[in-house]
Amino acid sequence: MNRKNILLAAILFPAVMAYAQEYGGMWIPTELNEKEMKNLGMKISAKEIFDTTKPSIKDAVVQFNGGCTAEIISPQGLLLTNHHCGYAQIQKLSTLENDYLSDGFWAKNMTGELPNPGVTVDFIADIKEVTAQVLAGTQGLEGKAYQDVINKNMEAVKATFKLEEWQKMTVKPVYYGNKYYAYLIETYKDIRLVGAPPQSIGKFGSDTDNWVWPRHTGDFSMFRIYADKNNKPAEYSKDNIPYKPKHFLPISIKDKQENDFTFVFGFPGRTTEYLPAIAVEKIMTEIDPAMISVREVALKTLDEKMRSDAETRIKYASKYASVANYWKKWIGEVEGLKKSDAVGKKKKYEATLMAKNPALKSTIEELNILYAQQAPYALNKAYYSETVRNAETLTLANFYYNYLPAMESGKLDAKATETFKNRLAGIYKDYDPVLDAKVTAKLLALYANKTPVKFLPADFEQYKNESQNLVTIEKLSKNSVITGRGMINGATTYTDINKVFADPNALVQNLKNDPLMKLFAAMRENYMKTTDGPNNEIQEKIDVLQKKYMAQQMETDKERKFFPDANSTLRVSYGQIKGSSPRDAVHYNYQTHVAGIMEKYVPGDYEFDVPKKLIQLYNTKDYGIYKDKTGDVPVNFTATNHTTGGNSGSPALDAYGNLIGLNFDRQWEGTMSDINFDPRFSRNIMVDTKYILFIIDKFADAKWLINEMKIVK
Ligand code: ARG
Ligand code: GLU
């Protein structure tokens, strides 16, 4: 839809545009605005989405391993989530002979499904608003006294629920502490891998296509929940049986039309939609650009080596992807904030609010002052944290630094030592000290050049030069235990970490004298003193005011339908299937097809290779019931659902509650939706259920799985 049509639509359907799309929305499932959803085309009731007395759609939606979302798609507990959400499990189960990342994995039957110790799924059994109980007795209190009462009240709320052994209760604030909700959670622990396409489907387009539309990624994998014989959660046992869900999602393979109603049900992680203009301005002009610039240097340095050396590419693939993911997102976010004039819009909104309610004036003025005061500290925090995160040598030094006091005082018991050692071993496994010396040298130079002298340790000026840093870091790195190159007890942390830890005194003394550790300690101690302290002090004041500002926005703007910022709890977003016009003269269709995969195909490429079998299916047009009216199989589609990180793997449903897609990404031009949703540019990206079933059926020949599902034609 072009701009003129959007305006036209806004005039013709003011209610629909204003309610559903102007601000996006991630709604608490017990407080859905059913009326607006129905206006947009929903045919079921809010009760069918969330009910605690009868089976409802919520019984089919789970949080997958604490981060992503997944949904149940058969009466036997079959679970669908993203490939990138199951990635770690698929990787862990892979060996050189059975490389499930490269070749995919498809169990032949239930006996062939693979256990994943430690993986959990959480159901939300109930949601209760508990604001009155949590805020009781807090009037007139401030600071620590206030927080102490809140904490006590939250514990009291939890204690009123009688919990089964597999249940837990969490209480979470929303609207910056103006409201509180309690969640009853049930955790299942025997989760087995059922199927995953090869990376060349599940991760097709990799980092180049990440956050990008048009997209052609089959980003899905399948697991199954197992339960004990009473259908209750249990640790893994071969005697466990497939979980019988209260509800599972029927899967629609009907053709999609632009403007069809759709909703997404899942666990969005974090958004900040109600910040004052000044905060958004700081993110857009200072914080995001700082973080982007650090990651840019790190990525470029890694990429050079990864391109020329296959071993490095494998070692760094997953880390690179995770650094690149938010690097790219922030670039899109900054562009989108500018393009949608987020700051201008917020300023105007603040002026309207102040005109209606003069009490807001002082809140906004004070916030302006505080954000201005905080700016230099916040900027240094961004540079410092990103430097330590991306220079792995410093990440390691930071890790040792955190453990050093306990090690020195002998307080690190056997269990804690084991955890520490295991985490270190995990880092060393994929760490190349020579390559990272380059990254560290460059990032130290960036930090030294970008940071005002008052925030730097004495003599830090010497680190302003990259090539000189490289000589220094290379020299220090060579004999350092931290980098895994220096020896203790005749061993390094690479060759035998147990031997290194066998003599804790020697390790402590060594670390204390390590020049890399001294360099890092100076940086960190200086940062804590000059930046972290003052920054937090101001932040506490901002938090108090932000709570007040949130309450004032809600009191003053009576017409606006407010939804709380995402906080990793269960939410519903809704919208319509739609293409977009993100730039002058550019229009995107809402759907891609298999033919588009072949347009992107680069034989042998690590991002754009296509499996032979898929090429064959394309050549013979063996699409079965999965093609749409164009004769091709739809692969991905976009809609106006308001989503964020954590919504990966979330079901996209149609007007009747049938599964039509699997959420996995957002369109680059709209990623500022975490701060300022804009219906013109903000789109979520989903895998089409037709493509998922096509891959399971025709590509993997796993008909036994299709037979379990309920397919709506
Ligand atoms: N952008 C998506 C998300 O935020 C997908 C990330 C995984 N894929 C990747 N190429 N890094 O999680
Ligand atoms: N890929 C994201 C995730 O892992 C979802 C995309 C987004 O941020 O909206 O949750």
Which of 65, 330, 643 to mutate to test ligand 2, by most ligand atoms within 8 A of the CB atom? 643
Ligand 2 pocket mutation pick from 209, 573, 662, 666 by most atoms within 8 angstroms of CB = 666
Give the number of residues written for the chain. 713
323 vs 22: which has the higher pLDDT: 323
Q: Reduced to 3 states, what is the DSSP secondary structure of residue 678?
A: coil
CA–centroid distance, residue 675 to ligand 2 (Å): 15
Residue 45: active-site member: no
CB 575 within 8 A of CB 587: no
Distances (CA, A) of 221 to 366, 369, 528: 49, 49, 43
d(C-alpha 274, C-alpha 272), whole Å: 6
Instruction: Please tell me the number of Cα atoms within 13 Å of 311 on its side-chain side.
Output: 5
Which ligand is closest to the CA of 566, given by its number? Answer: 2
Q: Look at residue 3 and tell me whether its pLDDT is greater than 70.
A: no
DSSP character for 285? I
Q: Answer yes or no: is pLDDT of 6 > 70.
A: no
What Rg, from alpha-carbon coordinates, does the chain have?
A: 26
Q: HSE on the CB side for 283, CA within 13 Å?
A: 23
Average pLDDT, integer, range 543-559: 96
* Residue 219 falls in the annotated catalytic set: yes
CB-ligand 2 contact for 665 (6 Å cutoff):
yes
Q: Is 644 in the pocket of ligand 2 (CB under 6 A)?
A: yes
Tokens (6 digits) for 254 = 């009907």
Phi/psi for 553 (5° steps) reads: -60, -45
Looking at residue 515, what is its pLDDT?
94
**Whether this model's pTM surpasses 0.85:** yes
Split at pLDDT 50, 70, 90, the class of 19 is very low
Domains of the chain with CATH codes: 31-120+189-271+565-712 (2.40.10.120), 121-188 (no CATH), 277-546 (no CATH)
What is d(CA 446, CA 326) in angstroms, rounded to the nearest whole number?
Answer: 19
Residue 158 has pLDDT above 80, yes or no: yes
What is the model's pLDDT at position 178?
97
| pLDDT tens-place string over residues 340-381 | 999 999 999 999 999 999 999 999 999 999 999 999 999 999
Q: What is the pLDDT of residue 235?
A: 97
Straight-line distance from the first to the last Cα atom of the chain, in angstroms, rounded to the nearest whole number = 28
pLDDT digits (tens, 9 = 90+) for 452-482: 999 999 989 999 999 999 999 999 998 899 9
Residue among 81, 155, 158 at smallest CA distance from 120:
81
Q: What value does the mean pLDDT take over residues 660-682?
A: 95
> Do residues 633 and 249 touch, judged by C-beta distance below 8 A?
no
**pLDDT digit string, tens, across residues 327-343:** 999 999 999 999 999 99
Question: 287-306: per-residue pLDDT in tens?
Answer: 999 999 999 999 999 999 98
Please determine, for residue 27, whether its predicted confidence score (pLDDT) is greater than 80.
Answer: yes
Alpha-carbon gap, residue 421 to 400, rounded angstroms = 10
Q: Which atom of ligand 1 is nearest to the CA of 209?
A: 10
Extract the tokens encoding 614: 């898929």
Lowest-confidence region among 272-286, 493-507, 643-657 = 493-507
Whether the Cβ atoms of residue 80 and residue 692 lie closer than 8 Å to each other:
yes
Structure tokens of 381?
A: 């925090």
| Sign of torsion over alpha carbons 211, 582, 557, 284 | positive
Q: Residues near 228 by Cβ (< 8 Å), separated by ≥ 6?
A: 234, 237, 240, 241
Q: Which tops the pLDDT comparison, 578 or 309?
A: 578
Which residue carries 């990864």 as its tokens?
Answer: 306
pLDDT at position 310: 83
Stretch 210-218: mean pLDDT, rounded?
97
Query: HEC profile for 298-329?
Result: HHHHHHHHHHHCHHHHHHHHHHHHHHHHHHHH
How far is 478 from 324, CA to CA, in rounded Å?
28
**Ligand 1: centre distance to CA 207 (Å):** 8
Strand-pair partners of 265 = 572
d(CA 282, CA 560) in angstroms, rounded, equals 25
Cα dihedral value 359, 362, 364, 366, nearest 10: -150
Please check whether residue 158 is in contact with residue 169, taking contact to mean a CB–CB distance below 8 angstroms: yes
Phi then psi for 250, rounded to 5 degrees?
-65, 150
pLDDT at 148 over 80: yes
Q: What one-letter code names the amino acid at 392?
A: E
pLDDT, position 21: 59
Encode 379-407: b = buried (16+ Cβ within 10 Å), e = exposed.
bbbbbbebbbbbbbbbbbbbebbebbeeb
Q: Which residues pair with 418 in a beta bridge?
A: none
pLDDT in tens, 584-599: 999 999 999 999 999 9
Q: Say yes or no: CB of residue 206 within 6 Å of ligand 1.
A: yes
Residue 13 has pLDDT above 60, yes or no: no
Q: What is the pLDDT at residue 152? A: 97
pLDDT band at 15 (very low <50, low <70, confident <90, very high): very low
Averaged pLDDT of the chain: 94
Q: Is 596 exposed, middle or buried (0-12, 13-18, 19+ CB in 10 A)?
A: middle
Residues above pLDDT 70, as percent of the chain: 97
